Structure 1
Amino acid sequence: MFGSSSSSGNPNGDSELVTPPSETVSSVAWSPKANFIVAGSWDKTVRCWEVQSSGSNVNSVAKAQHTAQAPVLCTDWYDDGSKVFLGGCDKKAFLWDLGSNQAQQVGEHQSGINCISFFRSPTAGELVVTGSWDKTLKFWDVRQPKMVLSHNLSDKVSCMDVKYPLCAVATENKKVTVFNLEQPQNPFKEVETQLKLQTRSVSCFIDKSGFTIGSIEGRVRVEYLNPTSTQQSFAFKCHRDSTKNLAYAVNSMAFHPTHGTFVTAGSDGAFHFWDKDSKQRLKQFKNCSAPITCARFNHTGDLLAYSVGYDWSKGAGSYNEYKSNNHIYIHPTPESEIKSKPKKKGFR
């Protein structure tokens, strides 16, 4: 088991999406317009479901599926909810039209694409930004399609998040390059994460004043771009088992779209809700029987999707033990779990 996992594969009693991928889920993304969700997987598929919820009752319907030529590592939605961007180990970025079920190539790298985000620029129009293991960040005009800008980075891209106009790109050498997407020609800032080990996840604040960084050492850093007397950058430990002296990777983080609180999900199979402003944990959930690879809130913030599967944190030798344990769960998130609470002393 990972950490102090429950013997149950679904210890929190959450609803599971029907027909999940057969291999580890690398990316989940909710539509910005409705409760549709896509997941990219190492089984070379991107699948789309409609999620129907009423209170704690959640049901899902499989709607579409696209099969790529290689494992899919990242996904994002077009802003009207009609199309999905994807990238993966085939080194190519595609735009998948859900209506026609056709995919059009929109970009290409020299190595795998593990990060992709769509944004609409007031001056440049419809753009998608891709990060790759080839140590570059590229911007593509979706309408042409063609590359309009490329940046050489200091190392392989490990993760990226965009909340326009803020773009935070983390590389494997523990640096974060920050871009203002209104002027993407030059980086806005480069930040040393001050974490001891490699970065695994990054998420931008909803007010775009900073971002959180999660590492493979069970630690999160809250980074403000312009610290003030009341808003200072800090780090805290999480996803650890003190009884075994083990630290687990923080595989995924996401901010709630309304309350500005956030979720972390890790190799220990657990997810937690946090409040960076009051510096406390809002809720701790029971550990699943395998790592959590991704976690994302829907556009209204009342549902959290998280994927369970093997993340290779124990090496190839543990693959067979977890290869059939691939699930995507939907957790309803009432305000009592996720809303900010009064400040307390210290981070708890």
Structure 2
Amino acid sequence: MAGLFGTSAATAAASSTTGDTSKDVEVSQLPGDSISDLSFCPTADFLAVASWDKKVYIYEVNGSGASGKWFFEMPGHVLCVAWSTDGTRVAAGDSTGVCSMVDLSKTAPGAATATQVAGHTDPNNQAITPAVKCVRFFQSAGKEILATGSWDKTVKFWDLTSPTPLGTLECGERVYTMDVKNDLLVVGTAERHIHIINLKDPTKIYKTITSPLKWQTRVVSCFSDATGFAVGSIEGRCAIQYVEDKDTSLNFSFKCHRQQDPNTRDIAKVYSVNAISFHPIHGTFSTAGSDGTFHFWDKDAKHRLKGYPEVGGSITATAFSRDGNIFAYAVSYDWSKGYSHNTPQNPIKLKLHPVIGDECKPRPGSKKR
């Protein structure tokens, strides 16, 4: 079902739901290349940032903004970053198939040395590098487990004590995106496959669906209560999907991150949905795209809460802080037009948006499902 939120992002921007970015704080110490991923620490006010400059940056976030606390280097371009569930360690995956980790509880501020804890290699020795595109931590039987998703078409699970994975999930296609919440793992691959996994049995696919969106999957993000997930595509659409068959009547999709021609009111441009983040307290969520805008939504009320003005470049990654009071977003080149368009003129920004008042609160009277 398209258009359930009633209006496109461009039309709604002129309405009373227009949000304010005037209080957003810009981080001054920035990576030297595009930002690929953001992750807030679950136990403290730290933000980890992955960059194509082959580094991971960890910032300490405070009332006035953020300051650089640690950084570490990787062999290749860093594509993903995640915190351990206890907030002491940061893992990152890169374009060479390496996943490395730093224990910050044992590391003085400044340059840190990362240790490789996982990796993917191409068994056929083909030219395509099996990059680690996604990393996530989760708890299983009281142990910390690291999941790595790769272009080698697998997700591997590691207990961080052995160079051999605990298990491997065959995904059939390249892993583009994945997310974890409680016992739910959702993996989005090439060819629009979406695998749903119960982490109590992580090497077995619970269910596979074809994305309800007709174009390439860009991002998946689990609901705060782990009953389902959101999917974003390169064609300016988002889908809300529940895990169990009994809830399929609640599934829907809607258009977003599109610009209308002001004269004809036809859709003039369609942009990729690059990032989706769920608010940890309210269960509402954000979308952000190549059009340089972000929006907050209430999936239960099928209602857009706020839409924000264009920020001067593609938004490549987003994250909410542990209490949901800060929404971080990265502005940088998103590689959608290839290497030749990655010029010095493309902005690189990291901004912190204070979540004030009812910006992310569900619509009054909305029915939780």
Same fold (TM over 0.5): yes
1:109 equivalent to 2:120? Answer yes
Asked whether the equivalents of residues 219 and 235 of structure 1 are also in contact (C-alpha less than 8 Å), the reply is yes
Aligned residue in 1 for 2:172: 154
1:17 to 27, 52, 72: 27
Is it true that 1:329 corresponds to 2:351 in the alignment?
yes
Q: Please, which runs of 5 or more residues in structure 2 have no aligned partner?
A: 1-9, 14-19, 122-129, 262-266
Residue 178 of structure 1 contacts residue 190 of structure 1 at CA under 8 Å; is this kept in 2?
yes
Matched-pair contact (CA < 8 Å) for 2:85–2:144: no
Alignment partner, residue 249 of structure 1: 272
Amino acid at match of 1:327: K
Quickly say closer, same or farther: Cα 1:90–1:215, change in 2 above 3 A.
same
Q: Any idea what the Cα deviations from partners look like across 1:24-80, whole Å, max 9, x if unmatched? A: 000110001011001010000100110002xxxx32121011111111001111222
Query: In the TM superposition, what is the alpha-carbon distance from 1:228 to its structure 2 partner?
Result: 4.5
Give the 3-state SS of the residue equivalent to 2:342 in structure 1: helix
Runs of 4+ deviating beyond 6 Å: none
What's the CA shift for 1:225? 1.2
1:48 has 2:58 as partner: yes
Q: Residue 183 of structure 1 aligns to a residue in which SS?
A: coil
1:302: which partner in 2?
Answer: 325
> Cα deviation per residue 1:269-308 (whole Å; 9 max; x = unaligned)?
0000000000010000001111000010011000000000
Q: Which amino acid aligns with 1:218?
A: G
Q: Which sections of structure 1, spanning at least 5 residues, go unmatched?
A: none
For 1:312-323, list aligned pairs within 5 A. Answer: 312-320=335-343, 322-323=345-346
Matches within 5 A, 1:1-348: 12-53=22-63, 58-98=64-104, 99-100=106-107, 101-110=112-121, 111-122=130-141, 125-228=143-246, 232-243=250-261, 245-320=268-343, 322-323=345-346, 325-342=347-364
d(CA) in 1 for partners of 2:39, 2:103: 15
Contact kept in structure 1, 2:222 and 2:229, CA below 8 Å:
yes
Percent pairwise identity: 39
Alpha-carbon distance in structure 2 between the residues aligned to 1:38 and 1:237: 30
TM-score by length of 2: 0.86
Cα deviation for residue 335 of structure 1 reads 3.7
How far did 1:319 drift?
Answer: 1.9
Cα distance change, pair 264–195 in 1 and its aligned pair in 2 (3 A) = same
The question of whether the paired residues in 2 share the 8 Å contact of 1:133 and 1:156 is answered with yes
What letter corresponds to residue 331 of structure 1 in structure 2?
A: H
Q: Give the C-alpha shift of residue 145 in structure 1.
A: 4.5
Alpha-carbon distance in structure 2 between the residues aligned to 1:330 and 1:342? 26
Report how far residue 315 of structure 1 moved.
3.3
Amino acid at match of 1:43: D
How far does residue 194 in structure 1 lie from its aligned partner after superposition? 1.9
- Equivalent position SS for 2:203: coil
Secondary structure of 1:139's aligned partner: strand
| Contact persistence 1:18–1:62 (CA under 8 A) | no
> How many residue pairs get matched?
332
Quote the Cα distance in structure 2 between the aligned partners of 1:283 and 1:293: 19
Question: Per the alignment, do residues 38 and 242 of structure 1 end up closer, same or farther by CA in structure 2, a change over 3 Å counting?
Answer: same
Secondary structure of 1:147's counterpart equals coil
Q: CA deviation at 1:155?
A: 1.0
Q: Deviations over 1:141-196 (max 9, x none)?
A: 11334311012212111100001210000001111101111111311111111211
- In structure 2, what is the Cα distance between the partners aligned to 1:31 and 1:219? 29
Taking the aligned partners of 1:285 and 1:332, their CA distance within structure 2 comes to 13
Q: Could you say what the CA RMSD is over the residues aligned between the two structures, in angstroms? A: 2.0
